[in-house]
Amino acid sequence: MKTNNPAFPSADHDHKHCVSLALKNAEAYCLQQGLRLTKLRHQVLELIWANHQPVGAYELLEQLTQEGRKAAPPTVYRALDFLMENGLVHRISSRNAYVGCSHAGHDHTAQFLICETCGQVAELDDARIGSVITKDADQLGFTVAQWTLEISGICDQCKRGTADE
């Protein structure tokens, strides 16, 4: 399965290819795992991948409604739960929103760089960070169940004034 990590894409980034690759990877992963990627789950995933900024559940609901899909909040949340449980999306707690997983099907705890200016998110997957956190927690007698690291700052494009907003 290919890694799909555009990290703060430039203006000439082929986003259609990025979305297509993410969806193809998700479909292959679900098929391999015997999971049902229903039409709604697929649509929600596609909407999440539609740009590189986190998208909220109600924003997804609004977009689905605009596309003629009758969906209620619980339905969207169930689709999001499925996508999160199966490693296809991540929840960005600080934004109460979701982003596509750049490493779908790969068991990992991600770290996120979040641009304060344009809102884009880049996913990192550095096992060394997890090892340090787990080791330090173990020394304190603490068992880590789950963690997500969100780092805010300004991306290079925004520093240079070239980001699409």
- Binding site for Fe cation, by residue number, is 107
Annotated binding-site members: 107, 115, 118, 155, 158
- For residue 77, the tally of other CB atoms under 10 A from its CB is 14
Q: Name the binding residues for Zn(2+).
A: 115, 118, 155, 158
Q: State the pairing for strand pair 121-124/111-115.
A: antiparallel
Nearest of 100, 91, 102, 82 to residue 150 by alpha carbon: 91
Distances (CA, A) of 112 to 6, 33, 51, 94: 13, 26, 16, 11
